[in-house]
Amino acid sequence: MKSKVLVAGASGLVGVAAVESFLAAGWDVIGISRRKPELPSGQDFRFIPVDLRDEKAASQALSPLADVTHVAYAAIYENARDLVGGWSNAAQIEINDAMLRNVIEPLLSGKAALKHVSILQGTKAYGVHLHPIAIPARESDLRDNHANFFFDQQDYVRDMGAKYGFTFTVLRPQLVTGKTPGALNVLPAIGVYAAIRREKGEAFNFPTAISFSSLPGASIYYQPAVLLRHRFSRATSTSTRR
């Protein structure tokens, strides 16, 4: 059976790149999000509009997709008015927990073909939004003592995988950049900063006493690098990866 991937959060920075990457690799691709993205390549793909916060709508949309073999989960809900504090908000945590359930459970409602689930996290798993973190942060570190839907989601796919026979991978890039426009893409900001420095006749230096790239374990991923991990993580054992 040909591999078929469901990309959740298809309109986001990573989601767009995921759709492009899997299409280029010859996969059957289905994207889901509230709005259909325009791919930089101009390719078309199968798209299902759905708000993952709506359990009934998600079930109706995804239950027929029993032949999906892989899920690349890059969906997220954040409170735009409180992007930092919101991560500690119990309601926001529950919304994100429910969104993942609303993707996985409809796919498992019949004779499921699901083989692997990749979920996207980040350094907030280490509590970077709450306090300084150890560098390098390691997946083998004990969980930081704070409420975080990253932990809930990881436990959920672990338990569901054990029950239904699929594997999972957790990806934790510190920063993702790429071609897709959006507030989480820092490339435009870096470009503006570079232009200002040039106009002032100043060197294009990192604006701090130390270089981010010199920090042990620092990682910036261009979209294709993250998506290669999404694509090929299906061949690895259950794991958490930087």
Distance CA 61, CA 164 (A): 21
Kindly indicate whether the domain formed by 4-176+218-241 is annotated with CATH number 3.30.870.10: no
As given in the structure block, the two tokens for residue 71 are 């899920």
pTM above 0.95, yes or no: no
28-to-22, 50, 71, 78, 138 alpha-carbon distances in Å: 8, 19, 12, 29, 34
Of 79 and 51, more confident: 51
Asked if the model's pLDDT at residue 213 lies above 60, the reply is no
As given in the structure block, the two tokens for residue 116 are 């692997």
Q: What is the pLDDT of residue 236?
A: 44
Mean pLDDT of the chain: 85
Among residues 178, 176, 157, which one has the least CA distance to residue 238?
157
Q: What is the pLDDT of residues 88-139, one digit of tens each?
A: 999 999 999 999 999 999 999 878 899 999 999 988 999 989 999 888 888 8
Q: What is the pLDDT of residue 184?
A: 64
Which residues make up the CATH 3.40.50.720 domain(s) of the chain? Answer: 4-176+218-241
Spell out the residues 6+ positions from residue 17 whose beta carbon is closer than 8 angstroms to its own: 178, 179, 180, 223, 224, 226, 227
Question: What is the pLDDT averaged over residues 181-196?
Answer: 78
Question: What is the pLDDT averaged over residues 132-147?
Answer: 89
Q: What is the pLDDT of residues 23-38, one digit of tens each?
A: 999 999 999 999 999 8
DSSP string, 16-65: HHHHHHHHHTT-EEEEEESSPPPPTT----EEEE--TT-HHHHHHHHTT-
Q: Of the ranges 50-64, 95-109, 186-200, 208-222, which one carries the lowest mean pLDDT score?
A: 208-222
Say if CB 103 and CB 8 are below 8 A apart. Answer: yes
